[in-house]
Amino acid sequence: MKSLLLSLFMLVFSTNVFAAKEIYTGFFNNDAVSGYDTVSFFDGKPLEGKGEFKTEYEGATWKFVNQANLDKFLANPEQYAPQYGGHCAWAIAENDGLAPGDPTIWKIVNDKLYLNYSAKTFALWEQDIEGFIQRGDKNWAKR
């Protein structure tokens, strides 16, 4: 049973099976960052966005808590969009793989937002953040 679950996990997140979206949105909607307001991360407290404050960017829907945050994003989306399209920062760096980024497991480094898949991958990523960012940037640029 364990090997069946592992095989299923690998199939679902395999880059060879599905073409990777630039922005991770999950399977059931088109919301970037699981509907969280990316600007709010930079204020230190991630908040879920609202449907009335949204925009389309890079093929995904981005939601915000208010018009001011939406306006900030529109003025400079590259500043606020998570690195690696919201995919797990550790996975892209460690094995050039794609895994979903969890908006509750995040860190701002050098004014950029990084998400990780789980607390376990986040702990691994924190052991060498700068090294993982260098490898992640290199791997992401190849896509």
Domain ranges of the chain: 18-141
Q: Is 71 helix (H, G, I), strand (E, B) or coil?
A: helix
What's the predicted TM-score (pTM) here? 0.85
pLDDT of residue 38: 98
The answer to whether 92 and 136 have CB atoms below 8 angstroms apart is yes
Q: Along the 143 residues of the chain, how does pLDDT read in single tens digits?
A: 544 433 344 444 444 334 445 899 988 999 999 999 999 999 999 999 999 999 999 999 999 999 999 999 999 999 999 999 999 999 999 999 999 999 999 999 999 999 999 999 999 999 999 999 999 999 999 98
Residue showing tokens 């986040």: 122
Let me know: does 115 contact 107? Beta carbons within 8 Å: no
